[in-house]
């Protein structure tokens, strides 16, 4: 099976915290697999839920197994099945529906794993070397390992789609992008990471289509500007002209407590906008976010309006809006801002 789908089991280790017991593929950052351990850090309620990440959509089932070794007599565990998705629109709806439909399989899987109880619990409580790259399952004797893997593989098969969910590899440059630009240390990476972890805040399970757009952030990309060599860097495009050409929207991000950060962001944006004028493309929607690092807005809306010439751009018919947000803490506001941008794009 390919990295387009991964099945893994995590558990809460009382010494080192959330840890992967076993996974069909290594969960490594370079593959853009999500940091699912964080789910168990914040959640210990039994149940099945979908969780969206930037590149992977996941269905998760949290459950407990009886254990003589655990405080409270129960181990906290989670099964995660994830599918890589890279597509806007219809396909992603299919993926969500598909994952939703797999909840009963995860529950069955959990109940079989639960039967291993104390045998498995001993492994969970064996002291781990935090930097070891081996899964704790490797600590099990052959008999337990094969019992575990028989169950694991059986359910991995049951979870795998009968038809191909993989999407044809497309020319990356044909995929439209939303570029994040902004001054150094403004919070660009933090912003992107946070929305990767978007949870379905206040969204009902039966409302599938409307939550799709909220998680389709695959197309977000930081357009890094190197102040020293005065050049932009972008993974998929060889130059700024191409970036601007394929841009679907821009997010401008600065530290709203720092005048320098605001002015620098404006200057970077100017370079982008001049490029746009040169190649004569229309300006796409622009979301401006003033990151309230310390919860306060040191520079008011009026200053931002003036600096970015928001009113003038609006008169030219450009969709542009400013949101002051503490991107680290105000998840709801981040979502509102992103929703605004996505609505202007689609
Ligand atoms: N207190 C606070 N710290 C923040 C906030 N946003 C970002 N930071 C911190 O500020 C630092 C810079 O944030 P990054 O997300 O790395 O900024 P960046 O724009 O990606 O920076 P470069 O890539 O270096 O240009 C990090 O240490 C963040 O943890 C915020 O809203 N509040
Ligand atoms: Mg960064």
Mean pLDDT of the chain: 83
Would you say residue 172 has pLDDT above 70?
no
Of the two residues 210 and 103, the one the predictor is more confident about is: 103
Q: Name the CATH superfamily housing domain 172-345.
A: P-loop containing nucleotide triphosphate hydrolases (3.40.50.300)
Tens digit of each residue's pLDDT (9 = 90 or more) over 118-143: 899 999 998 876 666 689 999 899 99
108 CA → ligand 1 middle, Å: 42
Of the candidate ranges 7-16, 274-283, 318-327, the one whose mean pLDDT is the lowest: 274-283
Q: Is 260 in the pocket of ligand 1 (CB under 6 A)?
A: no
Q: Is 14 in the pocket of ligand 1 (CB under 6 A)?
A: no
Task: Indicate which atom in ligand 1 lies nearest the CA of residue 327.
Answer: 31
Tokens read off for 151 = 């169950």
Q: Is 285 in the pocket of ligand 1 (CB under 6 A)?
A: no
| Percent of the chain clearing pLDDT 70 (strictly above) | 82
State the pLDDT at residue 89. Answer: 40
225 CA → ligand 2 middle, Å: 10
Tens digit of each residue's pLDDT (9 = 90 or more) over 286-295: 999 999 988 7
DSSP characters over 82-140: EEE----HHHHHHHHHHHHHTHHHHHHHHHHHHTTHHHHHHHHHSPP-TT--S-GGGGS
Tens digit of each residue's pLDDT (9 = 90 or more) over 55-74: 788 899 999 999 999 888 99
Angle 256-259-262 from CA coordinates, rounded to 5°: 65
State the pLDDT at residue 346. Answer: 63
Of the candidate ranges 15-29, 87-101, 231-245, 326-340, the one whose mean pLDDT is the lowest: 87-101
Would you say residue 18 has pLDDT above 70?
yes
Tokens read off for 110 = 């959990």
State the pLDDT at residue 75. Answer: 94
62 CA → ligand 1 middle, Å: 32
Instruction: Please tell me whether residue 61 adopts helix, strand or coil conformation.
Output: strand
Instruction: Please tell me whether residue 71 adopts helix, strand or coil conformation.
Output: helix
Q: How many CB atoms sit inside 10 A of residue 336's CB?
A: 12
Nearest CA to ligand 1 atom 25: 184
262 CA → ligand 1 middle, Å: 14
Q: Is 327 in the pocket of ligand 1 (CB under 6 A)?
A: yes
State the pLDDT at residue 29. Answer: 65
Task: Indicate which atom in ligand 1 lies nearest the CA of residue 186.
Answer: 19
Distant-in-sequence, close-in-space partners of 25: CB < 8 Å, separation ≥ 6: 3, 6, 8, 31, 33
Which residue among 179, 180, 181, 185 has the greatest number of ligand 1 atoms within 8 angstroms of its CB, and so is best to mutate?
A: 185
Tens digit of each residue's pLDDT (9 = 90 or more) over 259-307: 999 999 999 999 999 998 888 888 899 999 999 988 777 788 999 999 9
């Amino acid at each position: 099976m390919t990295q387009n789908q991964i099945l893994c089991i995590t558990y809460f280790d009382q010494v080192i915290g959330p840890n992967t017991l076993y996974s069909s593929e290594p969960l490594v950052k370079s593959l853009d697999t999500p940091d699912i351990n964080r789910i168990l850090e914040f959640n210990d309620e039994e149940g099945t839920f979908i969780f969206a990440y930037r590149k992977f959509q996941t269905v998760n089932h949290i459950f407990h197994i009886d254990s003589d070794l655990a405080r409270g007599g129960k181990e906290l565990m989670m099964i995660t099945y994830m599918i890589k998705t890279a597509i806007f629109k219809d396909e992603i709806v299919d993926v969500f529906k598909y994952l939703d439909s797999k909840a009963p399989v995860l529950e069955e899987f959990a109940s079989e794993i639960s039967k291993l109880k104390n045998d498995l619990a001993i492994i969970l409580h064996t002291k781990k070397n935090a930097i070891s790259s081996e899964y704790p399952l490797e600590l099990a004797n052959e008999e337990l390992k094969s019992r575990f893997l028989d169950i694991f593989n059986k359910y991995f098969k049951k979870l795998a789609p009968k038809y191909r969910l993989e999407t044809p590899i497309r020319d990356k440059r044909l995929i439209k992008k939303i570029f994040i630009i902004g001054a150094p240390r403004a919070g660009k990476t933090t912003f992107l990471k946070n929305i990767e972890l978007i949870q379905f805040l206040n969204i009902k399970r039966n409302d599938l289509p409307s939550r799709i757009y909220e998680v389709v952030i695959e197309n977000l990309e930081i357009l890094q500007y190197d102040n020293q060599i005065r050049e932009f860097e972008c993974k998929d495009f060889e130059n700024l002209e191409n970036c601007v050409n394929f841009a679907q929207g821009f997010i401008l991000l600065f530290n709203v407590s720092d005048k320098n950060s605001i002015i620098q962001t404006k200057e970077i944006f100017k370079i982008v906008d001049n490029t746009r004028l040169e190649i004569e493309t229309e300006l796409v929607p622009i979301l401006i976010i003033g990151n309230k690092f310390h919860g306060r807005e040191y520079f008011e809306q009026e200053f931002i309006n003036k600096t970015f010439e928001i009113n003038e751009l609006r008169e030219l018919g450009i969709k542009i809006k400013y949101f002051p947000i503490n991107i680290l803490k105000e998840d709801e506001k981040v979502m509102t801002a992103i929703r605004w941008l996505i609505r202007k794009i689609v």
